[in-house]
A and B are shown apart, each in its own frame.
Chain A
Amino acid sequence: MAMRQTPLTCSGHTRPVVDLAFSGITPYGYFLISACKDGKPMLRQGDTGDWIGTFLGHKGAVWGATLNKDATKAATAAADFTAKVWDAVSGDELMTLAHKHIVKTVDFTQDSNYLLTGGQDKLLRIYDLNKPEADPKEISGHTSGIKKALWCSEDKQILSADDKTVRLWDHATMTEVKSLNFNMSVSSMEYIPEGEILVITYGRSIAFHSAVSLDPIKSFEAPATINSASLHPEKEFLVAGGEDFKLYKYDYNSGEELESYKGHFGPIHCVRFSPDGELYASGSEDGTLRLWQTVVGKTYGLWKCVLPEDSGELAKPKISFPETAEEELEEIASENSDSIYSSTPEVKA
């Protein structure tokens, strides 16, 4: 019996969600940070979407947000011309890095010692986080505002995207190694370290390039303009979302469209797989983040699979809690439990 995907909606933001990032897998699970035009980036538990805290301090829309690998630090890029570094455990602001224009993108190195920033001033900046007072190293060359900048090749190189180009830079020499030109605006970029793959979206295309040589690997066309795409850690699937409010899931090997999901009430700005690949998160103009299962019907996080055959252990007494659609629960209870229970006892969780 096919099951329909139940996305989990994370509310809290009051304006469009424009960026999101997952941490690595830590002993406490993994975490998710969302950047929002309301200026208040939020930290959430990655597998459940539960809100942990809000980073307060920016005075403008937050355009980019990232977590370091062990989720102890967060960095945000904002329209108030600053990038900020935060303690992701306490929520305290650690550093404010002044820029000369809107900052759009931030990325930590693997060891969290350096922060890469980029924005409308067309400069890439590298800050040594152990010496926050020191001036950052600057790399110039972009001719339009930088939308995304990422460390790659074990932090030895930098990938950056502006409106129409994607450029690869050598960290040590601070010089450009290669560049790609596009005749359509580049909307997003994702770097996959295992396999050195770069995912670039522009127009309706989702393109995969080698992160080392920038040589194209393959590309797919979606039914609508795509704003963001993400490749599954095991490289079996990719998900993409854009202007038609839908999320598309493709088979990476064949390019076949496997699923499409409606749910958001506005264009999707960002989509990312979790580090364990079990779910993906999407952020939208509608101000929400949604979590989607990679394998629909699997028990994971807040999704709880109920098998019709199992009576004893997985028996679901009707748990009532305020926010859920009662009808949805009822539908499932009656599907599976008519012959199993004589009555559905109300159990307050």
Chain B
Amino acid sequence: MQTPLTTTVPVLRLPRGPDGLSRGFAPDGRRAPLKPVVPEIPESQESRESQEQRARATLRERYLRSLLAMVGRQVSFTLHEGVHVTAHFGATDLDVANFYVSQLQTPIGVQAEALLRCSDIISYTFKP
């Protein structure tokens, strides 16, 4: 029986299974409270560096979650020279150097799809 030659969809990896040791629900899993959990090590012992590291990680995570929350929403951007534009937020690239937006309302018309350079953006705001 001749079947057409096809490939199977590639996968990054297989789903992770139970670890066989615990019941799971890792305290540092995806849904851990965003405020950092009180550490076991007393603060005096923990180096300033790792404190800072944790703070940075928390702030970064919060920022990335804010980007996720923005997807598909109407966002108002304040650009240089007092220019304000609004658009529907699509995505950013890995370094958050560009914002991919659609339906960009500009003073000279509506752009269906556009890339906003983050270096051009002073601030942006949206309602979740």
Contacts and interface: CB of A to CB of B under 8 A. Distances in A.
A208 to B, nearest CB: 30
B30 A28 contact: yes
A194 to B, nearest CB: 18
A184 interface: no
A8 B15 contact: yes
B7 A3 contact: yes
A62 B125 CA distance: 47
Given A6-B10, A303-B11, A91 B31 contact: no
A304 interface: yes
A177 interface: no
The B contact surface, by secondary structure, is loop
Given A49-B15, A302-B15, A5 B9 contact: yes
A48 to B, nearest CB: 6
Given A4-B6, A10-B17, A45-B30, A324 B11 contact: yes
Nearest to B68: A27
Contacts of B13: 302, 321, 323-324, 349
Interface residues of A, number: 50
B22 to A, nearest CB: 8
B127 interface: no
Interface in A227-278: none
A233 to B, nearest CB: 16
A90 interface: yes
A106 B52 CA distance: 46
Interface residues of B, number: 25
Given A4-B9, A328-B8, A91 B23 contact: yes
B14 A324 contact: yes
Nearest to A298: B9
Nearest to B9: A6
B11 A50 contact: no
B12 interface: yes
B69 interface: yes
A142 B9 CA distance: 47
B11 A304 contact: yes
B48 interface: no
Interface stretch (A95-103, A151-159, A289-297): A289-297
A264 B10 CA distance: 19
B109 interface: no
A328 B24 CA distance: 31
Given A52-B25, A54-B24, A9 B14 contact: yes
Contacts of A8: 11, 14-15
Interface of B: 4, 6-19, 23-26, 29-31, 65, 68-69
